[in-house]
Amino acid sequence: MKALFLGGVAADTARGIASELPAALEVAIFDDPIDRAQLPAAAAAADILVSNHWRADYPPAPKIRLVQSVATGVDLFDLDALPPGITVCNAFGHETAIAEYVVMAMLALHHRLLEISGEFRATGSWRTSWVESGTPHGEVRGTTLGIVGLGRVGREVARRAAPFGCHILAANRTPRPAGDGVAKVYPLTELDAMLPQCDTVALCTALGPATTGLIDARRLALIKSGAVLINISRGQVIDEDALFKALCERRLAGAAIDVWWQYPSAAEPRRRGSRHPFHELPNVIVTPHNSGWTTGMVRRRWDEIADNLGRFLRGEPLINVVYANR
């Protein structure tokens, strides 16, 4: 049995789980996914693809039966370019890290931590302090957190936010029970009823037809004035232009953005994540899609992937199946 680990993240995974892989598994590792000299032979021989992407212009891979994503999302796989009958699995282990990021960002935004610290560092001004009877900044106790997408990450966000004294609401595409700190779960079709109640909106939903463009200008206007927004889902869930305008006009008090509308390429390795200069706004926390990229997450995810490859070789039920016999 042969496995093809394709791309930098997959290559790191292969090296990280080398001691956990069955001896019967033959591994080919390609840090560079565009190795046109050697990739055709490796793709033709592979039974398993471990990666976070596959493109139509890659060489044929007629034997592949298992596609194991090294990420949670599988939207970068062109599955039509792979043989029929494949099983596609993803990987998790990121819930803790991302939930901690959301709570950290919520606290920082309501306390205006970076904005105040940056001003004090740059100018020495005490205007935001009691020393000059400055306007007090916020806190999260007693505020309402609205979580859009109550999957693994959304549920973990609720568990971690509840001890801070937040009132927590959620909206989800499919029915979910309340609990774990969540007082009420709205159908996604009733999102408009939830948003006006929220002091913080955390976007934790997967990207799909029902969520692409979900937070448009109209829905941004529904969010309570002075609220903050945190996006760890995908950039395409929210209207880029409308968000920038709302932040510039301070209709939203702030935002934390970890996922973007555009990403680096070989031609533009330092490409910004947006056409707009979000990074210049003092009320915005910008991070390069790394909210879940912690040492703990990497180890948990590696172990999940190693476990699934072993299950596949032994003919046991797989975990984290996204598509079966696609």
Q: Which CATH superfamily groups domain 95-286?
A: NAD(P)-binding Rossmann-like Domain (3.40.50.720)
**Digit-coded pLDDT (tens) for 146-156:** 999 999 999 99
Q: Are 28 and 4 in contact (CB under 8 A)?
A: yes
Helix axes 95-110, 113-123, angle to 10 degrees: 60
Q: Tell me how far apart the alpha carbons of residues 30 and 164 are, in angstroms, rounded to a whole number.
A: 45
2-93+295-323 classified as CATH 3.40.50.720: yes
**pLDDT for the residue numbered 17:** 96
Q: Tell me how far apart the alpha carbons of residues 31 and 188 are, in angstroms, rounded to a whole number.
A: 40
| Low-confidence residues of the chain: pLDDT under 70 | none
Cα angle: 288, vertex 294, 296; to 5 degrees: 165
**pLDDT for the residue numbered 34:** 75
How buried is residue 200: exposed, middle or buried, by Cβ count under 10 Å (0-12/13-18/19+)?
buried
pTM: 0.89
Q: Are 6 and 33 in contact (CB under 8 A)?
A: yes
Question: What string of DSSP letters covers 208-266?
Answer: STTTTT-B-HHHHHHSPTT-EEEE-S-GGGB-HHHHHHHHHTTSS-EEEE-S-S----S
**What percent of the chain stands above pLDDT 90?**
93
**pLDDT for the residue numbered 42:** 94
Residue 286 phi, psi (nearest 5): -120, 130
Q: Report the run of H or E that residue 123 belongs to, with start and end.
A: helix 113-123
**pLDDT for the residue numbered 95:** 95
**Digit-coded pLDDT (tens) for 88-102:** 999 999 999 999 999
**pLDDT for the residue numbered 75:** 85
Q: Tell me how far apart the alpha carbons of residues 179 and 174 are, in angstroms, rounded to a whole number.
A: 16
Residue 209 phi, psi (nearest 5): -55, -35
- Reading the block at residue 223, the tokens are 């969010």
- Reading the block at residue 80, the tokens are 């039509």
For the chain, the structural domain boundaries read: 2-93+295-323, 95-286
Q: Which amino acid is at 266?
A: A
**pLDDT for the residue numbered 33:** 75
How buried is residue 88: exposed, middle or buried, by Cβ count under 10 Å (0-12/13-18/19+)?
buried
Q: Matching CATH topology for 2-93+295-323 and 95-286?
A: yes
**pLDDT for the residue numbered 288:** 97
Residue in 6, 118, 73, 90 with CA at minimum distance from that of residue 308: 90
Q: Are 88 and 74 in contact (CB under 8 A)?
A: yes
